[in-house]
Amino acid sequence: MIAVFSLSLVSCGDDDEGENNEYSRYGQINYGQININGKDYACYGYGMPITYTSSWEGGTLSISLPLGELADAKKGEYDFDYMVSIDCYGGNKPMVGTNLANYPEKYLTVVLDEASSADYESGSAIVKSVKDDDYITIEFKNFKCKASNLQSYTFNGTVKLDYDVD
């Protein structure tokens, strides 16, 4: 599954365009940070030269968080090794203030140590800003889920993602 994600095109980041940005031969590289179970990861962001876009399509909100080791990102190595996907059904198109936790149906896939589906348990994931066909910014606060392998994951941090509306 990780090999499939390695072939995908990716993006996520955060609103702070000063401290975590790097420059490469592709131009500005934006990566944000997200904390999962006490460990910080680079979340490859909005405006990346290669993107895996989050989207609103057919009543479904799909959020993709491609992640890599933070130490590698700080060295200018922008490979991602992990992926978190959140698909939300049965709610309205997200706007500022929308909490992903309030969607009636949520399906999560976490690919960190191994691939596993997960169920939402508690916490919030609030849309902080959104511009159709450009970006969506989401703030995770103690957003907890439990995977099918019984591993629990807690997300904290703010990410800015490329966002497409159909």
Q: Which residue has the higher pLDDT, 88 or 28?
A: 88
On whether residue 129 sits in a domain, the answer given is: yes
Domain assignment present for 19: no
Statement: residue 112 has pLDDT above 90:
no
Residue carrying the six token digits 């992640």: 67
The overall longest dimension of the chain from CA atoms, in Å, is: 43
- Does the model's pTM come out above 0.85? no
Residue bearing tokens 């031969």: 25
Identify the pLDDT of residue 29. 61
Among residues 143, 148, 94, 92, the alpha carbon closest in space to that of 121 is found at: 143
21 occurs within a structural domain: no
Q: What is the pLDDT of residues 127-166, one digit of tens each?
A: 999 999 999 999 999 999 999 888 999 999 999 999 999 8
Tokens read off for 118: 């997960």
How would residue 9 be classed by pLDDT, with cut points 50, 70 and 90? Answer: very low
- Give the integer Cα–Cα distance in Å for 6 and 12: 15
Domain coverage including residue 155:
30-163
138: in domain: yes
Cα angle vertex 120, ends 140, 115, to 5°? 95
Q: Are strands 152-165 and 31-36 parallel, antiparallel or unpaired?
A: antiparallel
Q: What is the mean pLDDT of the chain?
A: 83
Domain count of the fold of the chain? 1
